[in-house]
Amino acid sequence: MKLQFWTGCLLASLVCLPLDFVSQTKVLAGDQVAQIVQNNSAYNQAMQLGYTETRRRNYRKALGHFQQALQLRPNDSYATTAIRNVKSYIQQRRSLISFVPGRPGRLRAAASRGRCFLNGKPAIPLIPTSKEAQLTTAEHPTFFFYIPETAQQIQGLEFVLRDNESIAPLYRKTFKPLAKAGIVSVTIPAQQPSLKTGKTYTWSFSMICDPRSRDQDLYLEGKIERVQDENLSIQIQQTTQPLEQVVLYATAGLWENALSTLADLSRQRPNDPEIKKYWADLLTSVELAEVANKPLLSCCSSQE
């Protein structure tokens, strides 16, 4: 009864409001909507201009546009990341490309008692940091790892991708061991479900010393998240130059896209000095200079 009484009072008070007050309220709401639309348009324009100037290597102009975008949308992750990376281009003039992780930190293989790893050489994931998920726009991303020489030949490699919603892995494959040290890559097959936008996934990579005693594995783990940046997508579509696309991906903080595109170019043109320089600069910028000159190996073929 009390709820009905107060509801009736509220309705009566609304009916008694002056018409000019209601009209003013509608005008204010319309102005607010128009302001939001205008700000969004200005933000998108600033971001696209920033990416355009980055593609042209006009980094100081690009920085100004990204800073304008951040003023329009404070704390925006896309603008903040672009500003951080463009500033690194300005500061490191000799580098063709660089990548600045938000939270620096290197990831090494977990300790193992396996007799295969007595030489102590680490396996290294080619990721910018272990403190946060690497970002990608790819539905089926590629993961890169440096495999060192081992005291005894390993028995296999295993890659697993998981989410936090199920116990069973989304993808698990074992691959044949390699005869030499180098960089291997694992791509999620196209027939697998696509990564969902805005969701973080956990991957693990193991070098298997003894299949009967998996506690002797050399083990790596990290995270990846698929994101969507419409302003960047427009710029990517406007250029057919892969190296320009690599710079754009790096500027936007999309490590997986940048590294995968550059790795494809390295395989296609292994003797191109410019591509070698881009590859070395990108890896060096995230403290991976020690693997920059390691070969890209043909791996991995499925081993059921």
Range with the largest mean pLDDT of 16-30, 92-106, 131-145: 131-145
Give the gyration radius of the chain's Cα atoms: 25
Amino acid at 56: R
Which range of residues forms the domain containing residue 51? 12-91
- How many Å apart are CA 184 and CA 298, to the nearest integer? 7
18 and 134, same domain (yes or no): no
Would residue 300 count as lying in a domain?
no
Do the beta carbons of residue 176 and residue 231 sit within 8 Å? no
- Residue 14: pLDDT band with limits 50, 70, 90: very low
Would residue 270 count as lying in a domain?
yes
- How many Å apart are CA 265 and CA 199, to the nearest integer? 29
In this prediction, residue 20 carries a pLDDT of 55
CATH number at residue 48: 1.25.40
Least confident of 30-34, 208-212, 265-269: 30-34
Helix (H, G, I), strand (E, B) or coil at 227: coil
CA-closest candidate to residue 245, choices 261, 234, 260, 229: 261
Tens of pLDDT, residue by residue over 151-209, are 888 899 999 999 978 788 999 999 988 878 999 999 999 999 999 999 999 999 999 98
* Residue with more model confidence, 12 or 277: 277
Would residue 125 count as lying in a domain?
yes
- Residue 62: pLDDT band with limits 50, 70, 90: very high
* Residue with more model confidence, 258 or 18: 258
CATH number at residue 230: 2.60.40.10
- Please confirm whether the linkage preceding 300 is cis (ω < 30° from 0): yes
- Residue 304: pLDDT band with limits 50, 70, 90: very low
Would residue 124 count as lying in a domain?
yes
Tens of pLDDT, residue by residue over 74-116, are 999 999 999 999 999 998 878 899 999 988 887 766 656 678 8
* Residue with more model confidence, 237 or 301: 237
* Residue with more model confidence, 132 or 94: 132
27 and 122, same domain (yes or no): no
In this prediction, residue 38 carries a pLDDT of 79
150 and 277, same domain (yes or no): yes
| Residues forming a β-bridge with 218 | 207
* Residue with more model confidence, 31 or 163: 163
What is the DSSP code (8-state) at residue 55? Answer: H
Tens of pLDDT, residue by residue over 242-270, are 999 999 999 999 999 999 999 999 999 99
- Total domain count, the chain: 2
Rounded to two decimals, the pTM is 0.84
Q: How many CB atoms lie within 10 A of CB 150?
A: 21
132 and 263, same domain (yes or no): yes
